[in-house]
Amino acid sequence: MSWDATILTLFPEAFPGILDVSIIGRAREQGIWSCEAVQIRDFATSKHRNVDDTPAGGGPGMVMRADVLAAAADSVERRGRSLIYMSPRGKPLTQARVRELAAGPGAVILCGRFEGVDQRFLDARDVEEISIGDFVLAGGEVAAQTLIEACVRLLPGVLGASLSSEDESFESGLLEYPQYTRPRDFEGREIPPVLLSGDHEAVAGWRRKQAL
Ligand code: SAH
């Protein structure tokens, strides 16, 4: 059973995008996770296949229509997956929420464009709004890829034995200690001697202190 992402977007060609490289891409080839992009426009019923319209009350830009979004979302087999709208107004994404999502069956993710989406769609389908930070993107696609990548790297078998996610930033409530590798001298800057001492306890102590 794989972890399945279904993305509702006006730009399905953006997926898997960056998610097709390195360990995340390999994990998809191995069937650890899957990625299906659904074209929202396919659910537009008007003559000109409009997915957006002018904001009620006036103002600049366009708003994605609730009826089109509902039809697109309802076409997806949820199978217990959360319906998430990537939104600058959403709850800030945390490693704790990433862990929860990674432990589940996957996610159905709506990517907005223009000025955003009709509020009635969010209310009617009980949508979870998640933000990737206090700044505004042009669309939800990069935000969705951020969320998916954070989840997929936690799936069993993705990082392999080489990397453990336990020592990492946020996992213990602390940030990760600084890392070093060869060369021993870089522009006159040495690797902290304790890391070259071979004393595992001293190394662990140093790292704990740095993390604090
Ligand atoms: N007018 C809106 C911004 C729309 S940006 C506002 O002021 O809130 C267009 C789309 O980009 C949004 O619908 C959302 O899906 C996505 N987006 C923009 N910034 C984001 C962020 N920080 N986190 C997640 N998604 C974001």
For a pocket test of ligand 1, which of 137, 148, 149 has the largest count of ligand atoms closer than 8 A to its C-beta? 137
- Residue 157: φ, ψ to 5°: 95, -10
Q: Which atom of ligand 1 is nearest to the CA of 135?
A: 22
Residues 155-173: pLDDT tens digits? Answer: 999 997 545 666 788 877 8
CA 60 to centroid of chain Cα atoms: 29
Nearest CA to ligand 1 atom 8: 88
- Residue 106: φ, ψ to 5°: 140, -155
DSSP annotation string for 76-100: S--TTPEEEEEEEEEEEP-HHHHHH
Q: Using the mean position of ligand 1's atoms as its centre, give its distance from the Cα of residue 201 in Å.
A: 46
Residues 52-87: pLDDT tens digits? Answer: 999 999 999 999 999 999 999 999 999 999 999 999
Nearest CA to ligand 1 atom 23: 131
> Cα separation of 210 and 32, whole Å?
35
Q: Which atom of ligand 1 is nearest to the CA of 139?
A: 11
Q: Using the mean position of ligand 1's atoms as its centre, give its distance from the Cα of residue 21 in Å.
A: 25
> Cα separation of 111 and 141, whole Å?
5
Q: CB of 111 closer than 6 A to ligand 1?
A: yes
Nearest CA to ligand 1 atom 22: 88
Band of pLDDT at residue 154, cut at 50, 70 and 90: very high
Range in 1-15, 108-122, 150-164 with the lowest mean pLDDT: 150-164
> Cα separation of 177 and 211, whole Å?
5
Nearest CA to ligand 1 atom 1: 115
Decide: helix, strand or coil at residue 109: strand
Do 71 and 114 meet the contact criterion of CB atoms below 8 Å apart? no
pLDDT of residue 172: 78
pTM as predicted: 0.95
Reading phi first (left if > 0) and then psi (alpha if -120 to 50, else beta), residue 177 is in beta
Do 35 and 148 meet the contact criterion of CB atoms below 8 Å apart? yes
> Cα separation of 212 and 207, whole Å?
9
Q: CB of 143 closer than 6 A to ligand 1?
A: yes
**Residues counted in the chain:** 212
